[in-house]
Amino acid sequence: MEVLIVGTGDMARGIGLRLVRGGHRVRIAAREPDQAADLAEDLGANAVGEPLDSAAGAEVIVLALPYEGSKEIARLWADQLVGKIVIDICNPVDYDTFDRLVTPPGKSAADEIAEAAPGAKVVKAFNTTFASRLAKTGQLDVFIAGDEAEARKLVAGLCTDAELRPIDVGDRKHAAALEAIQLLHMKVQGEIQGNWSTALTFAA
């Protein structure tokens, strides 16, 4: 499958690595085409870089961007995202305090992205996986929420291919819980000496 990842940060790199390892083709899109090309080169022969032009040709788009950037691309590309699977990985955290989310009451970032791109199949995933863990090998739980069961299933398949354990939690309304727990996961990194390398897990 061909997956378009928007962004060139650590999360774009981590998800890209996993997807390529899983046997998928990856396109990296960014405002700075050089950065996209650099990341694609690091990912190997199954990855290409491109400017931030179009989602055409991609069945799955990963918004590997912060909260505001994710909403912006969803708005900008609203027309071309209709019918496509849009993976929202963002954490709408107040980075000044790490003590609250910045989403409107009762709404998740995934809800807002779905509102910005009506007709897109928005799937929350990868918001609880730190980039450092994606970049390594080894199991990792990926929590998946979205209103279209077949979209969740496809994302779960991408995870399984990439040695990740998908945990399908159901409808998009549950994305709020994933964002809320990840706020706490980020908040306590110092206390638990996590150093941004821990993983939210339903451990056996």
User: What is the smallest separation between the CB atom of 111 and a copy of itself, expressed in angstroms?
Assistant: 14
Q: Which of 5, 58, 117, 183 binds a copy of itself (CB under 8 A)?
A: 183
The strand pair at 85-88 and 2-6 is best described as: unpaired
Between 53 and 191, whose beta carbon lies closer to a copy of itself? 191
**Which of the ranges 6-14, 38-46, 86-94, 185-193 carries the binding residues for a copy of itself, by CB under 8 A?**
185-193
Question: Can residue 201 be called a binding residue for a copy of itself (CB under 8 A)?
Answer: yes
Work out whether 109 is an interface residue with a copy of itself (CB under 8 A).
Answer: no
CA pair distance 76, 78, nearest whole angstrom:
6
Query: How many chain residues touch a copy of itself (CB under 8 A)?
Result: 32
* Residue 8 vs residues 17, 30, 135: alpha-carbon distances, Å: 12, 7, 14
Least distance (Å) between residue 153 CB and a copy of itself: 12
Reduced to 3 states, what is the DSSP secondary structure of residue 41? helix
Angle at CA 186, nearest 5°, toward 183 and 189?
150
